[in-house]
Structure 1
Amino acid sequence: MTGASIRSRYIAETQARLGIEPLVISSPFQAPADPGQSSGVERLAGIEYHRCFDARYDQRFMVARKSPLTRLRKLTALPSFTRFVRRVVTERQVDVIHGHSLFFCGLAAVFAARRLGIPSIYEVRSLIEDTLVREGGATEGSVIYRAYRWFDDLAIRLADHIITISKGLRRELIERGVLDARITVIANGVDVQTQLPAPDPDPQLRSQLGFPVDAFVLGYIGTLFAYESLEVAIEAIATLGPYHRSLRLLIVGDGPARKALLDRAVARGVGENVRFIDRVPHEQVGRYYGLVDVFVLPRLPNRLTDLVTPLKPLEIMARAKPILASDCGGHRELIIHETNGFLYNARSPSGLVDAIVAVSNRRSELREFGVKAREWVAAHRSWEAAVRPTIPLYEELALQVAAHARTPYKRRTPASGVN
């Protein structure tokens, strides 16, 4: 499950707990949990998910090197998806349509809302054109880059209000000319009731991986995208290996960058010190969290990583594990050095190497540090605290539209998420 899907799920479930009635409309590229409901209504955690899945389209998420024809073909599905959104919204008497990036969902949301005379929100979670550049699917200023930017800007212009997931994205949109009053930041959160503290290290798993008993394990668990810059961690292992023989790097997950990372580890001669594990079932992931001493997040600073805040650091904190992260802008919005994690200077050639040495010398403090990180995230980054501002926002938008139409506002279904 991607970070975007996790965020959508928690927003809807939290809104339901806070007393409104969300329903979710998924795109034709989103497969249902139940294959038998590809064009029906699923109920997940008590919330309606209206499906219009079409297997003829490419379902792969964020595969950078799609052909232009594949991209164009997916865009042709926009009119039919917009009609589907209009139908569901009309039948369920929805008050506000809340769509999120990518622009395909955002445009369906704003087109349907304008046709029906109800307010719309477009939630900007990333800058897709810059993500494509980082993943090798476009070059800055290319036709694809400019096209994605244009469609995203169109959704932003047409929406009644904009939500961003970070202060960095908010600043970016203001620089593009979006009025400050039109933007609300709804940051990422974490559910500490489901993200429980990691168990103690499993000796059997440690043995299976070939790690020594005294191994100091750096870890990464998640999707392997190029912008995560995990090659920086591999280089650090190669540099420190001769002097820190118990140092290991555990990478769990799959993704577009996996092969390049495997090749890098082999080329640097650290195959025995870096272990790659395929994506593991959710019920087993805790065992791998338990083996890790410090999670490493070495994103290099660039437009994408400086503007977008990831979910991963919050999940690691909830697991009561320490984080060693680069000081890109997205990390600095979430991590306070020496409070809920450790930051290092990513612009220094030896930044990560020096930080690993410093943190490993404090090994006896790390367990307590992880506990404090969990306490911090529970107090400051719960989903309830993050999502609560959406409720008065929805109410205000609905009242504005009702006043403009000179009709009384009667609360019906307060929100529809277009996912």
Structure 2
Amino acid sequence: MTRTLVVTNDFPPRQGGIQTFVAALLERRPPDSLVVLASDSPGSAEHDAALPYPVVRRPTGMLLPTRATARAAVQLADRFGCDTALFGAAAPLGLLAPRLRAAGVRHLVGATHGHETGWVALPGSRQLMQRIASGLDVLTYISEYTRDRLAPALGERTRLAQLSPGVDVDRFTPDVDGAAVRRRWGLGEAPVVVCVSRLVARKGQDVLVAGWSRVLASHPGARLLLVGGGPAEASLRRAVTARGLQDSVVLTGPVGHDELPQHYAAGDVFAMPCRTRRGGLDVEGLGMVFLEAAACGRPVVAGTSGGAPEAVQDGVTGHVVDPRSPGAVADALSGLLDDRERARAMGEAGRAWVEARWSWTTIAADFARLLEPGCDQA
């Protein structure tokens, strides 16, 4: 069996999308095929003790491709007989690849997650990504959008292969009951539009607020549920107050990962009108929230940023709209609230699509193939 050394800064108990992605990939591999080298974080000892594979923590909150990190990685690869290495985020730790190859690791894979599209847009960081790619057999991408940005910059330095995050279709399901969440936030039986995401400008919660009065004009009892925390929370609360929307817009603040399915289920429609900012440097790589909402049987309304349209079958599982237009966003939401039968059909189509294309069963099989030496010749 191929044994894989995983070198990563992004690993629980530290929270975040990349951490969740990496942990979910490893959860679906045979435990005796893995060893992890990671940075340290509070609670790591308790977390690691419950895992079925060994984790070695460096005494730092941030692993860098230093000589000390390289020595630790080479020692682990030798100790456990690793013939494959995975970098949980290719930049910058992928710079260690030549050292590992020289030590006998035959197959090296690096993952990208979306922000690297900004890296290749800037001369200095583009050269760094080119160096990293040159040392790897495979570099993964999460969406066709990110591939289209990476490929011209990286050329023929490595093979590019898609490896997207997956959805736990047993957790995110139409059978989840959102009644308790509705009671907690005083939503009653009202029509609810829900957005689950970090509160940052790119995600477009401000556009939802800006267009919400237009939704209320045709659905006066509707509620907007904004789930999550982040730096934009204060400005969003001010906007809600300034527009007199306190009775119809609820900001929950941060919500635990275990409660997310119930918050999706509390909504009738999911919306996140994400938009690209900062000249393309701040962009949505894919948008797993659209797929999680679809897995819960909810129609989705997405913005056009980056890979987000790839997480929606426009007109089938939901709508892709202009995220710069509060009116366009509001009209899409009102249309779904108007036509419950169409909304239900879109939710059912979304669930079926996620099961077929985006479940962890499918993603895990893709991952297993990418770890096999020689897959770069496929």
Q: Give the TM-score, by structure 2 length.
A: 0.82
Aligned counterparts, 1:379-390, within 5 A:
379-390=356-367
Q: For residue 234 of structure 1, what is the amino acid of its counterpart?
A: V
Aligned to 1:52: 58
Seen in structure 2, the aligned counterparts of structure 1 residues 164 and 355 have a Cα distance that, compared at 3 Å, is same
Would you say 1:327 and 2:341 are equivalent positions?
no
Q: CA deviation at 1:319?
A: 1.8
Would you say 1:190 and 2:167 are equivalent positions?
yes
- Determine which of 24, 28, 31 is the counterpart of 2:36: 24
Gaps in structure 1 of 5+ consecutive residues = 58-73, 132-139, 401-419
Whether contact under 8 Å (2:34, 2:53) holds in the other structure is: yes
Q: For residue 318 of structure 1, what is the amino acid of its counterpart?
A: A
Would you say 1:340 and 2:317 are equivalent positions?
yes
Q: Secondary structure at the match of 1:350?
A: helix
Aligned to 2:100: 113
Q: Secondary structure at the match of 2:336?
A: helix
Q: CA deviation at 1:340?
A: 2.3
Seen in structure 2, the aligned counterparts of structure 1 residues 89 and 189 have a Cα distance that, compared at 3 Å, is same
Q: How many residues align?
A: 360
Q: Which of the pair has the greater relative contact order for Cα pairs under 8 Å at 6+ separation? A: 1
Q: Percent identity?
A: 22
Whether contact under 8 Å (2:117, 2:146) holds in the other structure is: no
Q: CA offsets per residue over residues 362-411 of structure 1, 9 Å max, x none?
A: 124434432332122111222232232343443334999xxxxxxxxxxx
Aligned counterparts, 1:272-311, within 5 A:
272-301=247-276, 303=280, 308-311=285-288
Aligned to 2:9: none
Aligned to 1:8: 22
Aligned to 2:221: 246
Q: CA offsets per residue over residues 241-289 of structure 1, 9 Å max, x none?
A: 3553212111121223322322332333322221111223344444323
Seen in structure 2, the aligned counterparts of structure 1 residues 394 and 211 have a Cα distance that, compared at 3 Å, is closer
Aligned to 1:258: 233
Q: For residue 226 of structure 1, what is the amino acid of its counterpart?
A: A
- Determine which of 85, 92, 100 is the counterpart of 2:73: 85
Separation in structure 1 between the aligned mates of residue 271 and residue 366 of structure 2, nearest angstrom: 32
Q: CA deviation at 1:306?
A: 6.0
Separation in structure 2 between the aligned mates of residue 240 and residue 368 of structure 1, nearest angstrom: 21
Separation in structure 2 between the aligned mates of residue 350 and residue 103 of structure 1, nearest angstrom: 39
280-289 or 220-229, which moves further after superposition?
280-289
Q: CA deviation at 1:232?
A: 0.9
Aligned to 1:217: 192
Q: Secondary structure at the match of 1:388?
A: helix
Q: Secondary structure at the match of 2:320?
A: strand
Separation in structure 1 between the aligned mates of residue 110 and residue 161 of structure 2, nearest angstrom: 11
329-338 or 227-236, which moves further after superposition?
329-338
Seen in structure 2, the aligned counterparts of structure 1 residues 16 and 318 have a Cα distance that, compared at 3 Å, is farther
Q: For residue 196 of structure 1, what is the amino acid of its counterpart?
A: T
Seen in structure 2, the aligned counterparts of structure 1 residues 4 and 198 have a Cα distance that, compared at 3 Å, is farther
Aligned to 2:146: 169
- Determine which of 371, 377, 388 is the counterpart of 2:354: 377
Would you say 1:95 and 2:95 are equivalent positions?
no
162-171 or 265-274, which moves further after superposition?
265-274
Q: For residue 225 of structure 2, what is the amino acid of its counterpart?
A: L
Q: Give the TM-score, by structure 1 length.
A: 0.75
Whether contact under 8 Å (1:163, 1:186) holds in the other structure is: yes
Q: CA deviation at 1:330?
A: 1.0
Seen in structure 2, the aligned counterparts of structure 1 residues 102 and 159 have a Cα distance that, compared at 3 Å, is closer
Q: For residue 48 of structure 1, what is the amino acid of its counterpart?
A: P
Separation in structure 2 between the aligned mates of residue 201 and residue 194 of structure 1, nearest angstrom: 13
Q: What is the RMSD computed on CA atoms of the aligned residues?
A: 3.2
Separation in structure 2 between the aligned mates of residue 182 and residue 399 of structure 1, nearest angstrom: 6
Whether contact under 8 Å (2:293, 2:299) holds in the other structure is: yes
Q: Secondary structure at the match of 1:169?
A: helix
Would you say 1:34 and 2:34 are equivalent positions?
no
Q: For residue 263 of structure 2, what is the amino acid of its counterpart?
A: Y
Q: For residue 34 of structure 1, what is the amino acid of its counterpart?
A: A
Q: For residue 99 of structure 1, what is the amino acid of its counterpart?
A: F
Whether contact under 8 Å (1:3, 1:311) holds in the other structure is: no
Separation in structure 2 between the aligned mates of residue 181 and residue 194 of structure 1, nearest angstrom: 36
Separation in structure 2 between the aligned mates of residue 359 and residue 256 of structure 1, nearest angstrom: 30
Q: Secondary structure at the match of 2:255?
A: coil
